[in-house]
Amino acid sequence: MSKFKIFFLKLSLIFSLITIFIFISARSYSKNMFKNISNNFLRLHVVANSDSTEDQILKYKIRDAVIDYMKPYFSNINTKKDALEILNSQKNNITNLAKKIATDNGYTYPVTVFIGNFYFPTKEYSEIILPEGYYDALKIELGDAKGQNWWCVMFPPLCFVDVSSGVVPEESKEVLQENLSYEEYNLLSENQNNSDMNFKFKIVELFQNIGIKLAQS
């Protein structure tokens, strides 16, 4: 074997090892960062029975009632732990409220309320973009739960402010900054172009999916 071929093989081996190292490091780094981000959020998720106009209207009525009911409880909390404690203490009341609204509007299908850890895809919310992952959430399923869903962020308390203007209030930003690292906060915030943010999240998701496939092979 010529010296050139030996050199080329060594170079290829070094390049492969560097690539593997970068892949493993990037996947581990992104996984830890995304997990820490998701661990600091609490979401509300309402899933309609179907996509019919009537079922979608009921979904929004229940959404509005739950948000109005929980708003006073979440007005002065600064940690997710406190938010979860309040949410668990109010679960039965939330369930009864949602069921009453359904009944008052003539619906007999079941209304089920869960507090758990659920998967969410990458989503834009006002000035921030939340990466895909598993988030703690209050989930309300109406009937067959096969219709379009609606979600918001209960902690930090973004459900309870008007985000239609596309602006997150300063007090909500402060809570975010208190619960996230500087790097994590900048990753989520709209200091960068939305398309750039989505691209970064998709790249990280690609790393994670490749890692999962390799582990399963």
Tens-digit pLDDT profile for residues 155-204: 888 776 554 445 566 776 777 777 777 777 776 665 444 444 444 544 45
The confidence band for 146, taking pLDDT boundaries of 50, 70 and 90, is: very high
pLDDT tens digits for range 40-65: 889 999 999 999 999 999 999 999 99
Q: Give the pLDDT score at 168.
A: 64
Tell me the residue ranges of DSSP E strands in 73-215.
111-120, 123-125, 128-130, 133-142, 149-155
pLDDT tens digits for range 91-115: 999 999 999 999 999 999 999 999 9
With a cut of 90, say whether residue 117 has pLDDT above it.
Answer: yes
List the helix and strand counts (H, then E) for the chain: 7, 6
Distance of CA 107 to the CA centre of its chain: 30
Q: What is the pTM of this model?
A: 0.70
The one-letter amino acid at 210: I
Distances (CA, A) of 89 to 14, 41, 52, 66, 115: 57, 18, 33, 14, 11
Task: Return d(Cα 150, Cα 48) in angstroms, integer.
Answer: 8
pLDDT tens digits for range 127-139: 677 888 899 999 9
Q: Give the pLDDT score at 215.
A: 42
Distance of CA 169 to the CA centre of its chain: 19
More confident residue, 197 or 79: 79
Give domain limits for the chain: 40-199
